Amino acid sequence: MIIVSDTSPINNLAAINHLHLLNQLYGTVLIPEAVYRELTDPNFPVAGATEVQIFDWIQTRAVSDRTLVEALNNKLDIGKAEAIVLAVEMQADQVLIDERRGRLVASRLNLRYTGIVGLLVEAKSRGLIVEVKPLLDALINEAGFWVAEPLYNSVLQLVNEIELP
């Protein structure tokens, strides 16, 4: 299975000490050079910076199609643009991306995608975590990850952690 990740899933899972879920779900995760740079910028330290440098299951790859990267970079930041182009080039099974605009572009290029919320749902369905709610709350409260209330409630209902009236 070929999985390409944008910055957000790595950064946010690392922020709540659950980056290992990516490895457990997918084995190897590929990131483009721009995502590596975003995570390891010494002037802007973020969660995941050390992990992308030392975990052998997170592998950095160069993107070849610079023309497509430039075209996408008009709509997306460079990390998302390169992640999407790398996913196209590698014929990835899935691209991990959270931003709505990035998902729209991925969809137009016929890429399957999921984000961090989808990862948590999948992790629970595979028995890797017991509950989604504590991790979702940690993402919101500790990592500053934004989740709309309707999505929050529908996800918890989906994984049988709350009942809606």
Low-confidence ranges of the chain (pLDDT < 50): none
pLDDT at 143: 92
pLDDT at 43: 84
Residue 51 DSSP label: H
pLDDT at 79: 95
Q: Dihedral of CA 54/68/105/94: which sign? A: negative
| Domain locations in the chain as residue ranges | 3-115, 117-158
Assigned CATH class of 3-115: alpha beta
Q: Which helix (H) or strand (E) holds 91?
A: none
- Pairing label, strands 29-32, 58-61: parallel
Residue 16 tokens read as 């709540």
Beta bridge partners of 95: 4, 113
pLDDT at 165: 57
Residue 78 tokens read as 């460079």
Dist. CA 9–CA 74, nearest whole Å: 22
pLDDT at 162: 81
Q: Give the count of alpha carbons within 13 A of 71, CB side only.
A: 8
